[in-house]
Structure 1
Amino acid sequence: MLVEIDNHGMVSHARVRRARSPQIERGKRVGAITGIVVHQTDADTLDSSLNSYRNPKANGAHFLIDKDGTIYQTAAIYQRTNHVGPLKARCLVMKTCKPDDFPKKGGAAAMHRIEMQKVPGDRYPGNMEAIGIEMVGRARLPEGFKPTLQQKKRNLTPEEIRGESAIFPTPTAAQNQSLSWLVRVLQDSIQVESSEVFHHPEVSRKNPTEAQGANWNLPVPTP
């Protein structure tokens, strides 16, 4: 399915509402769009995310899907936004490299620098190549959760503990239906391979439950 995309990178379709926030745009891409990364906002409501996107130098993704399935475009797709974070090594999953190929010191930053020297396809798509899709949903600690001994020793704040141990909700059925439609039309309209669509924790060091229940492979009606 094809959709019209104007010269600014804004989608023209009745299913997509425009809510562009220039504050999250970081300049025009210098290469092709090669991937899509699916996120959850870690916020309870649509408005809290839209409001945060209006802050100076805010970070955010190109699309935002509310719990009722309404799709908002929050950045032009030809603009880069900061939504991915330091890349994991795709070659470890492809089994074309070993952990010993990366410096033991330097951690995520060192791995990211090495990965960014590779061409897209040999690595995960980063901010310059990826369209970001956010789905409204906040992670919460499991009922009865108690901090681990290690977390207590590190004197973590409640928010830091939540960041490490909270669990993201499964997206609503309406969100997954809209996600499936949006991914399909973006793949068809800008030539993104199905193998280049990822959950956020696959490509970067994020809470492993983020977007875990996101499903972009549901049947979608046309147009």
Structure 2
Amino acid sequence: MTLYITKDGHVDAERIKVKIFSGIERGTMSAINGIVVHQTNSPTANATFNSYSSTTNGGAPNGAHFLIDKDGTIYQTASLYRATNHVGLMQSRCIITRQCHPTELKHAQSLERIKIVSNKAKAVHLNEVQKAWPGRYPSNADSIGIEIVGLAIGPRNREVYEPVNDAQNSSLKWLINQLAETLEVSMHEVYRHPDIGRKNPTEASTAKW
């Protein structure tokens, strides 16, 4: 059975609590090509909700469409018809999969050779967002983000995300399967955040669906 989605992009389902934060919503999302799984790096759902309600240096907060709490409760935090900033700087699908034209691969490899890491990441990202999917990974503009409450623990730059628990994984599996069927998203286009972005490799590493 597919999910019922209202005209506002809100899911009407017994297992989902709708708690929309309009501040994390961006422009209209006209296509949905993928799903990206994250961890919040926060200890509680409320800590993440507080961040969704705040602004930093006058800017709008980042966020995702769903959040799964420690007890497995699923919250919808943004409309399915609105983009959110949850992917960040993208990696090159061409380099990772090698499924692209040799000329494109050569160009992507030249960007990866930029010595300053921050400049390299930005250059690769800007090159990727100019492409149409599936020539790139799903981006902010065409993917659903799912956050799982969980902290990254350890010394700076060596943090390890705490394991996703059984209740969270059960809810994640249900949610991804429901979204994939309803929105006609291929299960091959469901990713952990580090698979497609420049993120801590342990983020969502224990997520299962």
Task: Tell me the TM-score normalized by structure 1.
Answer: 0.84
User: Which stretch of structure 1 is more off in the superposition, 195-204 or 103-112?
Assistant: 103-112
Q: 1:195 aligns with which of 177, 188, 200?
A: 188
Q: Tell me, in whole angstroms, the C-alpha distance in 1 between the residues paired with 2:7 and 2:17.
A: 17
Tell me how far apart the structure 2 counterparts of residues 103 and 194 of structure 1 sit (CA, whole Å). Answer: 28
Distance 1:103 1:139 in 2: 27
Give 2:165's aligned residue: 172
> Aligned pair 1:102/2:111, yes or no?
yes
Structure 2: give runs of 5+ residues left out of the alignment.
none
Q: List 4+ stretches of structure 1 deviating above 4 A.
A: none
Alignment match, 2:46: 47
Query: Is 2:58 the partner of 1:58?
Result: no
User: Quick check: which has more Rg, 1 or 2?
Assistant: 1
For 1:92 and 1:24, the matched residues in 2 are separated by 31
For residues 45-82 of structure 1, what are the alpha-carbon distances to aligned partners after superposition, in whole Å with 9 as ceiling and x for unaligned? 11111111111411110000001100000000110111
2:74 partner letter: I
Structure 1 match to 2:143 = 130
Does the 8 Å CA contact 2:95/2:109 hold for their aligned counterparts? no
Deviation at 1:116, TM superposition (A): 1.3
Separation in structure 2 between the aligned mates of residue 116 and residue 128 of structure 1, nearest angstrom: 9
Moved more, 49-58 or 60-69: 49-58
Q: RMSD value over aligned CA atoms?
A: 1.3
Aligned-pair identity in percent equals 45
Q: Which amino acid aligns with 2:111?
A: F
Q: TM-score, normalised by structure 2?
A: 0.89
Contact 2:36 2:193 in 1 (8 A): yes
Are 1:139 and 2:142 matched, yes or no?
A: no
Aligned residues: 195
What SS does the aligned partner of 2:164 have? coil
| Deviation string, structure 1 residues 104-148 (Cα, Å, up to 9, x no partner) | 33301110111112211111111000100000000101xxxxxxx
Could you tell me which residue of structure 1 aligns to residue 12 of structure 2?
12
Report the counterpart of residue 21 of structure 1 in structure 2.
21
In structure 1, stretches of 5+ residues that fail to align are 142-160, 217-223
